[in-house]
Amino acid sequence: MNKPLLIAGAIALGAWALTGGSAAAESAVKLPPPALDTPAQAGRETAVFAGGCFWGVQAVFQHTQGVLNAVSGYAGGRKETASYALIGSGLTGHAESVQITYDPKQISYGKLLQVYFSVAHDPTQLNRQGPDSGTQYRSAVFYQDANQKQVAERYIAQLDAAKAFPGKIVTQLAPLAGFYPAEAYHQDYATLHPREPYIARFDLPKIANLKTTMPEVYREQPVLVFPPK
């Protein structure tokens, strides 16, 4: 386990407790599917989502059927500043993000958005998630083409119109200029460190919520970036 990460997790937990954090931070919201979705087609597609610490977002999609790979990384800033040591300043433009490679014949982009909004994070929190705060923890969908942009825009409007959440969705929609994989020690983090207090408190509940809220897409064994040999 990376010692600085353990210390940072403990600090975040302490700050969260002092500000009155509660179990509601990791509750899921059962949502309808998007009214508009991308068509199923052969091949592989990718999606990039940001929603707080990438450990939990990655873990959720690693347990989602149809996902072929989910990589933690950085999006929204320049390549030269895409490192864990720099993005913590909140000044690089990057958000901790996850690039999801998926089979569109097994799961659609819209269904991935449904998982993202329902289980992976709280889209009504501005520049924070749980104990983590700063623009690097913002809620963001980095779309790759006009179809992804339209589906995401329509879904956010659909959910806001239905008052699916107590507050308005603050998720940023931005074109994907580049995705930069995070350092190797960040990959598969929730699977490798399930007993770390941060993971147990904030990330394992997300996986449990996926299983109970969207059982039709849940997979027991995660698809890992670095599978055991």
Catalytic residue (choose from 28, 31, 48, 53): 53
Any catalytic annotation for residue 74? no
Secondary structure of residue 204 in the 3-state scheme: helix
Q: Where do we find the tokens 């020690």?
A: 185
Q: Which residues share a beta bridge with 64? A: 218
R_g of the chain, CA atoms, integer Å: 16
**Contact criterion met (CB below 8 Å) for 120 and 48:** no
Distance from C-alpha of 156 to C-alpha of 172, rounded to nearest angstrom: 10
Q: Where do we find the tokens 């720099």?
A: 86
Secondary structure of residue 69 in the 3-state scheme: strand
* Residue count of the chain: 229
Question: What tokens were used for 144?
Answer: 């790759």
In sequence order, the 6+-apart residues with CB closer than 8 A to the CB of 29 are 117, 118, 164, 165
Concatenated DSSP letters of 152-177: HHHHHHHHHHTT-SSS----EEEE--
Secondary structure of residue 146 in the 3-state scheme: helix
Catalytic residues: 53
